Amino acid sequence: MQILELELQNFRNYGSQRAAFDPNCNVIFGENAQGKTNLLEAIVYLSCGKSPRARTDREMIGFDAAEAVLESRALSRDREFRTRVELYRGRRRKMWVNQVPAKNSAALSQVYHTVFFCPDDLYLIREGAAARRRFMDTALCQLRPRYAAALAEYHRLYDHKTRILRDSEERPDLLELLPDFNERMVRFGAVLIHYRQQFAEALARYAARHHRECSGGKEQLEIAYQTVSSVTDPAADIEVLTEQLRAHMESHQAAERASRMCLSGPHKDDLIITIDGREAKSFSSQGQTRTAALAMKLAEREIYQNATGEYPVLLLDDVLSELDPRRQEFVLNRIAGGQVFITCCEDDRLPVLLGGKVFHVKQGTISG
């Protein structure tokens, strides 16, 4: 997978910009606040219809512009694709793949895939379970359509069940609907556990290797999937998972009715991350946290490559800061394979060792 060319109009601080990229390595230099992250954000947005940082599409439109246009020419599965998105203030965006209008962002996801790493990704280690579930869900939805469908259905049922429980004080008759909701959540929940277990197992294996090598063999990263307590083996067959999840739901029924809240279930799943046996969330240093988060992203790239035969485009934003020189060198050695974009500050010459194409970004203008 490769981005051959990108064209932006009024996207963030870019006016009218076109750039052609190297198939392997693209080093994006620039001082602070010049547009390096904006460039990576545009590439991510074109890959999935979502920004890794903007809350609304409007945020990405140039301050003085009415609309923004993003367009890419990409190579994927030995074919060339053109994707185009137009963002407007006050009306819905429009998207196209090869000039055919796309109804939703799923059409963009089928063209190319990105793995984006930025300083905020420390949240993967430091924050609560929701951040790690989001990481698993995003990766798995791109890889397994069956997972994406089960997750959407599980969320829909969860929201509905939450409303039933909340409103049940005034309308006790609603509780009659619960057994049916529970049964459907059990069936879709078992599918989620099945895929999450497989993903977590591969993630643990690859990420441990990256982390070990990056720390010069000194540190051991471990990742374990944690789901509801009554599931004794998340790697068991889906039928077994369904039975155990059903027993779990039944044992929580009385408590859910009493608290009028949807309690335990796969919606509380987590990844337990430890470095040398200690929980990383509480005990790891800034550098260790960054190394672990990066190891997880590199592992995600490998899982995707194994499943599809193609490397996703790797986007590394400000990855070198807070790493000591040996860890920096590891990162630069390790990212080969597939197309890479790496941003850094002007005085950081290390990435030039990577070869490839060098760009300078200044006030929303890229020069090659």
Binding positions for ligand ATP, rule: CB under 6 A: 12-13, 30, 32-38, 59-63, 318
Residues 261, 160: Cα–Cα separation, whole Å: 11
Alpha-helical (H) ranges within 144-279 are 145-167, 178-214, 238-259
Of residues 118 and 296, the one with the C-beta less far from ligand ATP? 118
Of residues 222 and 348, the one with the C-beta less far from ligand ATP? 348
Q: How far is the CB of 55 from ligand ATP (least distance, A)?
A: 12
For 117, 160, 188, the CA distances from 156, given in Å and listed in that order, are 30, 6, 11
Of residues 12 and 144, the one with the C-beta less far from ligand ATP? 12
Q: How far is the CB of 349 from ligand ATP (least distance, A)?
A: 16
Q: How far is the CB of 58 from ligand ATP (least distance, A)?
A: 8
Contact predicate 343/117, CB 8 Å: no
Of residues 87 and 207, the one with the C-beta less far from ligand ATP? 87
Listed residue (137, 174, 181, 179) closest to 156, CA to CA = 181
Of residues 241 and 361, the one with the C-beta less far from ligand ATP? 361
Q: How far is the CB of 28 from ligand ATP (least distance, A)?
A: 8
Q: How far is the CB of 333 from ligand ATP (least distance, A)?
A: 23
Q: How far is the CB of 269 from ligand ATP (least distance, A)?
A: 32
Can you say which residues are annotated as belonging to the binding site for ATP?
Answer: 30-37
Q: How far is the CB of 317 from ligand ATP (least distance, A)?
A: 7
Of residues 62 and 287, the one with the C-beta less far from ligand ATP? 62
Q: How far is the CB of 81 from ligand ATP (least distance, A)?
A: 25
- Max CA separation in the chain (angstroms): 69
Tokens representing residue 181 in the block:
């909701």
Q: State the DSSP string of 308-337.
A: HSSPPEEEEES-STTS-HHHHHHHHHHT-S
Distance of CA 246 to the CA centre of its chain: 30
Angle between helices 325-334 and 178-214 (to 10 degrees): 110
Can you say which residues are annotated as belonging to the binding site?
Answer: 30-37
- Residue written as token pair 């602070």: 32
Tokens representing residue 14 in the block:
């870019």
Compute the radius of gyration of the chain from its Cα atoms.
Answer: 22
Of residues 63 and 92, the one with the C-beta less far from ligand ATP? 63
Residues 186, 181: Cα–Cα separation, whole Å: 9
- Residue written as token pair 């996207």: 11
Residues 157, 126: Cα–Cα separation, whole Å: 29
Of residues 33 and 307, the one with the C-beta less far from ligand ATP? 33
Listed residue (17, 70, 84) closest to 42, CA to CA = 70
Angle, vertex CA 238, rays to CA 232 and CA 239, nearest 5: 90
